[in-house]
Amino acid sequence: MRIMASDKAGGRGYYSPDEPADTNGSDNSIPMAYLTLDYQLQPLTPCPNSKESMAVFEQHCKMAQEYLKVQTEMALLIQRKKELVVELDQDEKDQQTTSRLVQEHKKLLEENKSLATYYQKCKKQLDLIRVQQHKRHAS
């Protein structure tokens, strides 16, 4: 059975899956490969009476399948690259946040140490004032 798509794609047809041109054993992969290709990359319908035409057609089908496989792999790799760029951006933001928080923590520790020293100084002064006041009241 030959199905022609002469009203589509300017007179080019596609080979039916039940004909011998199905070279990879998958009945649906060759027609799908044709239909997803750009018009100028689609295999021409072979002349069924010519072994050379059939061989060229089968070779073209294999190349079309390989082309689609490579295009799919490229699309997947491009998508993965985008995901990795997003991850990298997030990691960089996280690293900046971590760095900022480490700096802030260091500053707060220094401030805490300074306040603790000031507290101890004030406490000693208060104790000294209390001792002096106690001596005044006692005399």
Predicted local confidence at residue 33, as pLDDT: 62
Q: Which of 45, 36, 38, 35 lies closest to 12 in space, CA to CA?
A: 45
**Model confidence, pTM:** 0.53
Phi, psi of 82 (to 5 degrees): -60, -45
Q: Average of pLDDT values for 112-128?
A: 97
- For 66, the token pair is 């390989």
Predicted local confidence at residue 24, as pLDDT: 43
Task: Report residue 75's pLDDT band, with 50, 70 and 90 as the boundaries.
Answer: very high
Q: Average of pLDDT values for 62-78?
A: 92
Beta bridge partners of 14: 3
pLDDT digits (tens, 9 = 90+) for 4-56: 333 333 334 444 433 444 444 444 344 666 777 788 877 778 888 999 999 99
Beta bridge partners of 3: 14
Three-class secondary structure assignment of 47-68: CCCCHHHHHHHHHHHHHHHHHH
- Nearest-5° Cα angle at 38, 34 to 39: 80
Predicted local confidence at residue 61, as pLDDT: 85
